[in-house]
Amino acid sequence: MGQSEAEIKHHKIFNKAYDFTKADEIKEMGLYPYFKPLQATDGNTVQIDGREVIMAGSNNYLGLTNDPRTIKAAQDVLKVYGTGCTGSRYLNGTLDLHLELEEKLAKFMGKESCVLFSTGYQTNEGSIQTIAGRNDLIFSDRDNHACIVVGTQASNAKTIRYRHNDIEHLRSLMAKSDPDAGKIIVTDGVFSMSGVIAKVPELVKVAKEFGAGLYLDDAHAIGVIGEGGRGSASVFDLTDEVDLISGTFSKSFASLGGFLVGDREIIEYIRHHSPAHIFSASMPPANVATVLKSLEILQEEPWRLKRLEEISDYMRTELKNLGFNVWSSQTPIIPVVIGDMFDCFRFWKDLFEAGVYSNAVVPPAVPQGQALLRTSYMATHTDEQLDRILEAFRKVGIKHGIIDNNGS
């Protein structure tokens, strides 16, 4: 018998939402670390709950979000173009600023052409969906970012996932696949949780062996690593061997948006076929101007990349010396493994109370039992701030029994 109207509180489709109580439970325990509203920030520090804490969980790698020059560049264009484009690039939403940025990025990356998207997420989702079609095969690293996963799901191609950074596994899967199918290998250039760099030389080799295209998502690599900040392929001097490289503006470039570079024909095809590009409004002018200024600063102030590398090495070494497990981080993303999810939330809270903001990352974003605090660093962090972060980790680590008293 059906339920009476009075008994039906909501439609069945919404059961999953009404049954989702986990976030409320964690909030009641006073341990919920997400969606914390920042009340103000100067980049290195943030005001939260009326207190100032050091930001050790931002992707603002070059420290440009609060630079007076990027702020002025954004302000200046507001007067010329207004606040938004109110349409997609295809129709009314292309500004001369967008074309200038595409040209400068293609040149910077040493590729023929560039297409902008309104976020990095849309860049990968929209490009992968478009370039891999029916009868094609996508070979995707199991630890790839969610936007790549969604792009592979949205495409009509078949996706084959290989074990994280495991080139032998990739090769064996490629060897078993249809030799006549169009193929592309897609991977994060730097993995966003571990800070590990993809094995670009081996990927280039295997791509050549099986006649596959190679696509790198360099969201955490461009403006961070490689020659002049040109990303993961550039670390190995292999940019010419990689077909498509994507980047984001939400990290080193202090803004919002994303881009893809590659051969002119491939970029033109994506520009004319990607739903994420065609059916979504273009980057607002202030965002574009911020990126143009950030790109200029990146090239004029090489000290930022140097400092970023130096302080990342310093923090990795010191966290390891204290006794923390930082996985195999190679970049400014340095995870600190705590283990149990609730222990991780408690650690996060104590660290926050000790004046340091980090990001709690729990399964399924990381394997079960490997909940971690994702820390990341920026060129503008002062030595004193870095040492305060380390001291907070030392104290909280000892309190929680993650490290022992000998951590020095």
Ligand X SMILES: Cc1ncc(COP(=O)(O)O)c(C=O)c1O
Q: Give the catalytic positions in this structure.
A: 192, 220, 251
Least Cβ distance, residue 101 to ligand X (angstroms): 15
Least Cβ distance, residue 259 to ligand X (angstroms): 10
Place of tokens 């503006």: 249
- Scanning 197-244, the segments in alpha helix (DSSP H) are 200-209, 232-235
Q: How far apart are CA 182 and CA 146, in angstroms?
A: 23
- Scanning 156-249, the segments in alpha helix (DSSP H) are 167-176, 200-209, 232-235
Residue nearest to ligand X as judged by C-beta position = 120
Q: How far apart are CA 12 and CA 286, in angstroms?
A: 44
Interacting residues toward ligand X by CB under 6 A: 119-121, 124, 145, 147, 188, 192, 217, 219-220, 248, 250, 258
From first CA to last CA, the distance across the chain in angstroms is: 68
CB within 8 A of 290, min separation 6: which ones?
70, 73, 74, 249, 253, 254, 255
**C-beta of residue 281 within 8 angstroms of C-beta of residue 87:** yes
Q: How far is CA 40 from the centre of its chain?
A: 23
- Give the C-alpha distances (Å, rounded to integers) separating 378 from 11, 304, 364: 47, 9, 27
Least Cβ distance, residue 122 to ligand X (angstroms): 7
Least Cβ distance, residue 107 to ligand X (angstroms): 21
**C-beta of residue 257 within 8 angstroms of C-beta of residue 248:** yes
Least Cβ distance, residue 256 to ligand X (angstroms): 7
Q: How far apart are CA 303 and CA 353, in angstroms?
A: 32
Q: How far apart are CA 33 and CA 194, in angstroms?
A: 20
159: β partners? 138
Q: Which is nearer to ligand X, 145 or 307 (CB)?
A: 145
Residue 405: phi and psi, rounded to 5, are -65, -20
Q: Which is nearer to ligand X, 187 or 385 (CB)?
A: 187
**C-beta of residue 132 within 8 angstroms of C-beta of residue 124:** no
Least Cβ distance, residue 126 to ligand X (angstroms): 11
Q: Which is nearer to ligand X, 113 or 127 (CB)?
A: 127
Residue 240: phi and psi, rounded to 5, are -65, -25
Q: Which is nearer to ligand X, 60 or 192 (CB)?
A: 192
**Cis upstream peptide for 364 (omega within 30°):** yes
